[in-house]
Structure 1
Amino acid sequence: MKRLDLVVPILALLPFLLMLTNASLQAASSTDELGLIPAPQHVERLSGEFTFPQQLTVADLTGFSGVDRVISYLEDKLSEHAGIRCIRTQAKPSDKTAALVLTKSADSSLGEEGYRLEIRRNRIEIQAAGPAGLFYGVQTLFQLMPAQFLGNSGSLPWPVKVPCVKIQDRPRYGWRGLMLDVSRHFFPKEFIKQQIDLLAFHKMNRLHLHLTDDQGWRIEIKKYPRLTEISSWRREGDGHIVGGYYTQDDLRELVKYAEDRFVTIVPEIEMPGHCVAALAAYPELSCTGGPFRVAIEWGIHPDVYCAGNDQTFEFLEDVLTEVMDIFPSPYIHVGGDEVPKDRWQHCPKCQARIKAEGLKDEAELQSYFIRRIEKFLNAHGRRLIGWDEILEGGLAPNAVVMSWRGTKGGIAAAQADHDVVMSPTTYCYFDYYQGNPLTEPLAIGGNLPIEKVYQFDPTPAELPPDKTKHILGGQANLWTEYVPTPEQAEYMIYPRLAAMSEDLWSPKEQHSWDSFTARLQRQLQRYEALGLNYARSLFAPELSTEFDAKSKELTV
């Protein structure tokens, strides 16, 4: 029998490929070695290190009214992870005292979220124009710590040291968000808190909670108890019950937790479509009267809220009143996407509404629906935000557009002087595969590797310069049809969120894939310390083979 000789044995290649990957990533600049993500605006390495004492003097010289939550956060983290006790003072410490000093900046160029961080051998100074800037300075300080600082394993080397640096930093965009779909699959409160912590660590400041959809209603509404009795639960095809909901107290707790970390929770209540779960409890709000069950199938469902029924608007206004009482966010998301018009076309009430309001068609009826809800929200001091379908039939006067079907909707809205959050599927949909589908967990489809995420620029080149001010920022979205567990959610979010955070925070001209991947090494060490189930697709070698039958050689 003839022996088949391989040109290179496949298994022998793996260590070599991994070694090459590490070698290329380690060829980094001195500032890249710090592993800061998102990359600061300006970083200068200084000689020496600051050594943390067991008792650290924290001097607040800012006079900011909201600084207490920053100092409390700092104290809690240093105590929990490093055993360092903080001693507060409002007096300037002597030059001989190893101290962390918070000061107020008069530099308007820093904005509300910018900061300066200077670390010398015996002094750490964070300067900002407000508490948010101080908080992000603290986050950068924590990234300069050894990765073990983030864990609870007791492996942190002592004494704790950080390198001496001078950093000036501010975000490129004010909206730096992540949407988490808790409707298709419900996630526990503690997991949401963990994501808030991680958003803050990445200097992200919006958590958009997709609270309602066809497959589940996740928020307690006291005036309509059937929403949690019926709409929050679904029976799968195998008879298994899936569901859950957050009480109003749960959500207030999350809002406070997020506020302490400078994250705003933006609630989304879907309308006029994606509402089958609500119709299962209150079928009279539909065009047909039902009956309905909470959906177990993904996709677009034909039944929507009846736009010709005043009871629909009474229900939604009651719901939104309770939502606004829980969430102080200036923005309330109302969905507005993927609304089939079939039921409206055959509904006498909807057709009567079209005639009474002088509307042309069902597209304008959807615009009427959104405008009516926007008027209600505006009267309560809130702004409506919706997916880009709210452009159809005419955009409500003060609405903000979240552009997901590419960038065209966002461009059209910005050109009409509406504010926009860019969230196109091609760069921002974290439910897409991030590696080879043959080796990745089942996903909804698409392909969004971290390299593609890193190419995201929320401001389209074709947008006129005088309209770019309307681009508030961008947002990653994790839809959870195929994400049933917190562990799977972590896998889909990280490390892609690291790339997204840099897209939204760091100056565009500083973007460098080589620099990012070098810094990502340190970030992954931090993820390890945190115990995150992050995806390793970026560093997983993909081998292709070609067999030459004539020479009996297999080329890898």
Structure 2
Amino acid sequence: MVKNERPFVVPALQEWTGGEGVFVPGVVRRELAPTGLGDEGYRLEITPDAATVTAETERGLIHGAATLDQLLARGPAPCGVAEDWPNYPVRGYLLDVGRRYVTPELIHRLLRLMGRFKLNELQLHLNDNEIKPPDGDWNRALHGFRLRSAAFPGLASPESYSRADWDGFEDLAAAHGITLVPEIDAPAHARSFIAYDPSLGHDGGDSDHLDLANPAATELVKAVITEFVPWFRGPAVHFGADEYYQSKELWQRFFNDMAAHIRSLGKQPRAWGGFTRLSPTGDTTGFDPDVVVNSWNNGFYGPEGARGDTYPLINSNDALLYLVPEADYYHGHGLDNEWLYDHWEPHVFADGERLDPGDPRLLGAMPALWNDLVRASYPQERMYELIEDSLPVLAQKMWSGSKAGLPYAEFSSRARP
């Protein structure tokens, strides 16, 4: 008999050895055992009588089950053996819920979608404000802080998440092999903190920048993070630290203070890369070295700026990976999926800048949907549609790169549920 060809799943399998015959839904076994395929890798053996997923971790078992689910959704599964693992440990997506609230139900749907395609991190950007206030008056600016606690009455927006909501996100994320990365952004994008205590704002509170010359501003951010860290089950907390223009020296002090504080709470600090443009020296001199950095813009801190540094990096390059619904910039109507499929992998950044494939600093990628246009009229379903449209391509390129081996049009057609 002819051996079964490699089956189509998203993302594509790293290795496949075809067998004979097919498996219809029946006995499925899950086994934790050494495979040599890493923390997220798995071995899937399919015979006519049973399908067996073997992995070293629960997350590997979840990924193997996701592959089997995709196969069975298309009919009887071909018999054979798959050995599969990701090229990168971070395969994420960021959703800006600070500028625009989304319901818990939509976050649940997004987690299920991400799990289907083996993405493993969802970063929730939990506070932010509109970029320019009406008539320049920051007191009229729309802003949001999306976690509520009695410890900070008035900080949270009316539309925000309770501890029960967050626990529901954590439970569902774990069931799909996903880690939540909470982001509380300061000292810019900080209008919610300033509305809570105007004395802590730059320019007498007429700003979305904290006045870092006032130590109480940093202490408030620390206290808020301390309050919510017990909610967070994942290893990392993102403290933002992007686009602060009031003082380079004070920004550096804030960066270092926040990194140390988050580590003291037992979490790994993450931040947006800004060293090239925002630091006193134009580089990483004097900065805490134990921070995971999202490289979001080449001019702020891209591959060229990072050359010679040791920071672990996540590719969030704005020119390639940012979505702003309905905007005339940053892919307002969807990412360029065909270009990404043909030309991109996590080591590729905009304007010809890139890291070497396999650079040990590169953890993976984190595309992002930003709700900059806070006064625009579009429903939360539009956000989901834009993410859903690009997720198969992104997942493919983050997991096994070009292993799909198909022209874009065929991949795109077959990837649709």
Partner of 1:178: 93
Answer with 368-377 or 452-461: which moved more: 452-461
- Alpha-carbon deviation of 1:307? 0.7
Q: d(CA) in 1 for partners of 2:320 and 2:124?
A: 19
Which digits, 9 at most, give the CA deviation of each residue in 1:27-48, with x for residues without a partner? xxx857x431111101234331
- Alpha-carbon deviation of 1:453? 2.5
Cα separation, partners in 2 of 1:446 and 1:181, compared to 1, 3 Å:
closer
1:409 to 298, 301, 312: 301
Partner of 1:503: 397
Q: d(CA) in 1 for partners of 2:240 and 2:192?
A: 15
Which digits, 9 at most, give the CA deviation of each residue in 1:376-419, with x for residues without a partner? 11112212211111553243221111011138824344631110
Cα separation, partners in 2 of 1:139 and 1:185, compared to 1, 3 Å:
same
Which digits, 9 at most, give the CA deviation of each residue in 1:303-327, with x for residues without a partner? 3111121211221111001221111
1:36 and 1:519 in contact (8 A); partners too: no
Residues 1:50 and 2:23 are matched in the alignment: yes
Which digits, 9 at most, give the CA deviation of each residue in 1:360-379, with x for residues without a partner? xx212211111011111111
Cα separation, partners in 2 of 1:408 and 1:167, compared to 1, 3 Å:
farther
Cα separation, partners in 2 of 1:408 and 1:270, compared to 1, 3 Å:
closer
Partner of 1:475: 366
Residues 1:313 and 2:218 are matched in the alignment: yes
Give the TM-score normalised by structure 1.
Answer: 0.65
1:451 to 338, 342, 348: 338
Query: Aligned AA for 1:119?
Result: I
Residues 1:424 and 2:317 are matched in the alignment: yes
Cα separation, partners in 2 of 1:303 and 1:490, compared to 1, 3 Å:
closer
Partner of 1:485: 379
Query: Aligned AA for 1:139?
Result: A
Secondary structure in 2 matching 1:289: helix
Structure 1 segments unaligned to the other structure (5+ residues)? 1-29, 54-98, 148-159, 234-243, 293-301, 342-361, 433-441, 527-556
Residues 1:123 and 2:40 are matched in the alignment: no
Superposition RMSD on alpha carbons, in Å?
2.3
Cα separation, partners in 2 of 1:181 and 1:462, compared to 1, 3 Å:
closer
Q: d(CA) in 2 for partners of 1:518 and 1:385?
A: 38
1:367 and 1:390 in contact (8 A); partners too: no
Cα separation, partners in 2 of 1:212 and 1:31, compared to 1, 3 Å:
farther
Q: d(CA) in 2 for partners of 1:311 and 1:51?
A: 63
1:427 and 1:452 in contact (8 A); partners too: no
Secondary structure in 2 matching 1:384: strand
Q: Give the alignment of 1:5-16 within 5 angstroms.
A: none
Cα separation, partners in 2 of 1:449 and 1:220, compared to 1, 3 Å:
same
Structure 2 segments unaligned to the other structure (5+ residues)? 130-142
2:98 and 2:125 in contact (8 A); partners too: yes
- Alpha-carbon deviation of 1:509? 5.3
Query: Aligned AA for 1:522?
Result: R
Secondary structure in 2 matching 1:492: helix
Query: Aligned AA for 1:471?
Result: L
Q: d(CA) in 1 for partners of 2:198 and 2:15?
A: 57
1:179 and 1:476 in contact (8 A); partners too: yes
Partner of 2:115: 200
Which digits, 9 at most, give the CA deviation of each residue in 1:82-106, with x for residues without a partner? xxxxxxxxxxxxxxxxx22223442
- After superposing on structure 2, the runs of 4+ consecutive aligned residues of structure 1 that deviate more than 4 Å are none
Q: d(CA) in 1 for partners of 2:307 and 2:47?
A: 45
Partner of 1:332: 237
Q: d(CA) in 2 for partners of 1:133 and 1:272?
A: 38
2:65 to 138, 148, 159: 138
Which digits, 9 at most, give the CA deviation of each residue in 1:247-288, with x for residues without a partner? 122112211221222211101111110011221121111134
Cα separation, partners in 2 of 1:213 and 1:100, compared to 1, 3 Å:
same
2:32 and 2:58 in contact (8 A); partners too: no
Q: d(CA) in 2 for partners of 1:408 and 1:287?
A: 22
1:253 to 163, 168, 181: 168
Query: Aligned AA for 1:451?
Result: E
Q: Give the alignment of 1:40-439 within 5 angstroms.
A: 40-53=13-26, 99-108=27-36, 110-147=37-74, 161-214=76-129, 215-228=143-156, 232=157, 244-290=159-205, 302-341=207-246, 362-390=247-275, 392-393=278-279, 394=284, 395-406=287-298, 409-411=301-303, 412-413=305-306, 415-431=308-324
2:40 and 2:85 in contact (8 A); partners too: yes
Q: d(CA) in 2 for partners of 1:521 and 1:46?
A: 26
Answer with 264-273 or 35-44: which moved more: 35-44
Which digits, 9 at most, give the CA deviation of each residue in 1:202-259, with x for residues without a partner? 100000001001221111133211112xxx26xxxxxxxxxx1111221122112212
Q: d(CA) in 1 for partners of 2:203 and 2:319?
A: 37
Which protein is bigger by CA-based radius of gyration?
1
Cα separation, partners in 2 of 1:131 and 1:197, compared to 1, 3 Å:
same
Query: Aligned AA for 1:430?
Result: L
Q: d(CA) in 2 for partners of 1:372 and 1:40?
A: 43
Query: Aligned AA for 1:271?
Result: A
Q: d(CA) in 2 for partners of 1:450 and 1:386?
A: 27
Identity of aligned residues (%): 28
Query: Aligned AA for 1:35?
Result: F
Cα separation, partners in 2 of 1:522 and 1:165, compared to 1, 3 Å:
farther
Q: d(CA) in 2 for partners of 1:457 and 1:517?
A: 18
Q: d(CA) in 1 for partners of 2:346 and 2:356?
A: 14
Give the TM-score normalised by structure 2.
Answer: 0.85
1:431 and 1:479 in contact (8 A); partners too: yes
1:204 and 1:263 in contact (8 A); partners too: yes
- Alpha-carbon deviation of 1:511? 5.5
Cα separation, partners in 2 of 1:262 and 1:374, compared to 1, 3 Å:
same
Q: d(CA) in 2 for partners of 1:406 and 1:170?
A: 30
Cα separation, partners in 2 of 1:450 and 1:283, compared to 1, 3 Å:
same
Cα separation, partners in 2 of 1:364 and 1:213, compared to 1, 3 Å:
same
Q: d(CA) in 2 for partners of 1:107 and 1:307?
A: 50
Cα separation, partners in 2 of 1:408 and 1:196, compared to 1, 3 Å:
same
Cα separation, partners in 2 of 1:306 and 1:327, compared to 1, 3 Å:
same
